[in-house]
Amino acid sequence: MTAPTQEEAVSHAQKLMAQKTALEAQIVELEQVLTSQGTDLTSPLTDASGYPRSDIDVYSVRHTRVALLRLRNDHTDLMRTIEAALQDVFKAGGSLQVQQTPFAKVGSVSPDSPAHEAGMLAGDEVVR
């Protein structure tokens, strides 16, 4: 098996990152379903007497929790795959060019500040 070309490696990594974005959107959507029910992944589904809570749709919450846990596991696996794909990109001598517009410009950096320790200089532009 031959190593992917730089273009192939970058294309593959970009496709994986698009999948990651879509997966994260699904996760947020399911988290909102739980929030709308006034619950989360760990909230009890029974009342103090052990009966199903009457203030939530227990079936919907259980179904949503299972789906959410599966998606989170899928996200973890996808992140590992992306990590490997990015290593392939850099092994092929490439880089992912992401066009970012600066939103701030550093005016000054105080000595012994976290910015100074990170190597920031006056005039640097902040993109993220």
What does the pLDDT read at residue 48? Answer: 93
Query: Cβ distance 23 to 75 under 8 Å?
Result: yes
Residues 42-96 have pLDDT tens digits of: 999 999 999 999 999 999 999 999 999 999 999 999 999 999 999 888 887 755 5
Per-domain boundaries in the chain: 6-97, 99-128
Helix ranges (H only) for the chain are: 6-36, 58-91, 114-117
